[in-house]
Structure 1
Amino acid sequence: MKKNILVFTALLFCLITFEGMSQNKSKVIAHRGAWKNTGATENSIAALEHAIKLGCYGSEFDVHMSADSVLFVNHDHTIKGTDIEKSTAQELSQIKLGNGESLPTLEAYLKAGSKQKKTRLILEIKTSRISKEHSLALTRKCVEMVKALKVEKITDYIAFDFDVCLKVRALAPKAHVEYLNGDKTPAEIQAANLSGTDYHYSVYKKNENWIDELQNKKLAINVWTVNDKSTMQWFVDKKVDFITTNEPELLLELVK
């Protein structure tokens, strides 16, 4: 009887340990969607759909505001020679991506993402080249649209502008908000009541102790943009929460 109890206890311990290990695995975020190995255009709705199909934890995308306050998804401030912030929605709606899609609005992108619940929408609020006020107006409109489309539960926010992060926190106190620029310490992130950091991998390599500090403070650790296997493995071994990559297929294979 005692032997059976010992065997059962050992098996239970192994199961709990295994589950704990699986929960500590770094999660995969597709940078601008899954585009590099799929033929989709980055930041397109097709790239989002490929990230969802792959089973990525999240799909990152970038948002700008047009001259007439319509929100569009694109990485750069310009596309095909057109400045998004200085152009109207009508002008921007005529632009076609490489895969034939129209330049997506944030509304269309969020609606596509809302059809599922497993892949999170990692919304980067791009810093305006016009003014701080433009950045903050963009922030308010992003949060309003996320709420209006009822996708708060699957949407996280990231930004290079610290004031934008603070604005999101004020507008959406329960949202997951991470800072991108790499110049704030874990203590400063905690004091600002942000969810964590989303820094370039070189920042963590230079400040390796920040990883321990963030983990001790129970703050989220995201790292961008990691595309080679050795660097991926380094951060997986450090048990960071999220790794953002242009190679989600490779990282998914590594962490499975």
Structure 2
Amino acid sequence: MTSNGYFDNGGTVVALAHRGFSLDGLENSMAAFRAAVDLGFRYVETDVHGTKDGKAVALHDASLDRTTDGHGDVADLNWAEVKGAKIGGVEPVPLLEDLLGTWPTLRVNIDVKGTSGIAATADAIERTRAHDRVCLASFSTVRREATVALLSKPVATSAGTREAAAFFAGGFIGANMAAPLVAVGAVQVPVKLGAVRILTARHIAAAHAAGKQVHVWTINDKAEMERLIAMGVDGIVSDRADVLKEVLVAIGRWE
């Protein structure tokens, strides 16, 4: 595992625009990614599914139904069918390759959502030579590792659910919290499990001692952003890129 400089943020907080930035429900659209870039964001987060003919598309759900005017599962459709769907009825579903290619210095956190996205995601990274500026994530460690195995160069990675669960559990039972993170550069986690706060300063300190970053999702409240930054988190994933930027500018940690 290597970060290839992906996590080198010069002491600022890694500010990740969750599915780009849109207050109009246009998540994972090129318009949303452009809005984040226009705000000055250097990092965005996106999700990937693969089409039946092997194209990686930036879309959170397996199906087109919730966010677009199209219907059906991406994995069952060819790209020619998917590209006709409009997010919010107005914005086309983008290819991952278009996101990586349009902004050649933008760092992209990629959540590989299903097995259909494994080869498709690797192909998009290879075609755009984006290895040094992507972080591969997945709830499934198996999916993440399968995607990495198809790449010609190392990329940054973050922990899957199994690794994150072991990381959290270690903090509460006295086990080695860093051991589950040996193969990744970061752990990207929720702050709470239901109403219970599970991320502690002890977890953050253990990750830092092992040279790993801690990113939290999905934080949209200003006071919570400030609390987590004070705790020492390295990155925040947010739907409210505008609020996150405001907080970081105010404390002098916006790059």
TM category (shorter chain) comes to 0.7 to 0.9
**Residue in 1 that maps onto 2:129:** 150
What is the alpha-carbon distance in structure 2 between the residues aligned to residue 65 and residue 158 of structure 1? Answer: 15
Match of 1:183 among 165, 169, 177: 165
Query: Alpha-carbon deviations, 1:188-217, whole Å to 9, x = none?
Result: 4333x2112011121693141211110111
Identify, as 1 or 2, the structure richer in helix. Answer: 1
Q: Secondary structure at the match of 1:78?
A: coil
> What TM-score, normalized to structure 1?
0.78
In 1, are the aligned partners of 2:220 and 2:240 still within 8 Å (CA)? yes
Structure 1 segment 201-212 matched on structure 2, within 5 A:
201-202=191-192, 205-208=197-200, 209-212=202-205
Larger radius of gyration: 1
The alpha carbon displacement at 1:101 in A equals: 2.4
Of 67-76 and 43-52, more deviation after overlay is shown by 67-76
Alignment of 1:108 with 2:98, yes or no, is yes
**Residue in 2 that maps onto 1:84:** 74
Alignment of 1:194 with 2:184, yes or no, is yes
In 2, are the aligned partners of 1:40 and 1:99 still within 8 Å (CA)? no
Structure 1 segment 1-256 matched on structure 2, within 5 A:
23-36=10-23, 39=24, 41-80=26-65, 81-98=71-88, 100-114=90-104, 117=105, 119-126=106-113, 128=114, 135=115, 138-172=117-151, 174-181=154-161, 182-185=164-167, 186-191=177-182, 193-202=183-192, 205-208=197-200, 209-256=202-249
Same amino acid, percent of matched pairs: 21
> Closer, same or farther in 2 for the Cα pair 1:170/1:70, shift >3 Å?
closer
In 1, are the aligned partners of 2:86 and 2:92 still within 8 Å (CA)? yes
Q: In structure 2, list runs of 5 or more residues that go unmatched.
A: 1-8, 66-70, 168-176, 250-255
Superposition CA RMSD, Å: 2.2
What is the alpha-carbon distance in structure 2 between the residues aligned to residue 57 and residue 84 of structure 1? Answer: 28
Query: Alpha-carbon deviations, 1:19-58, whole Å to 9, x = none?
Result: xxx943322100000112xx47110011111111111131
Q: In structure 1, list runs of 5 or more residues that go unmatched.
A: 1-21, 129-134
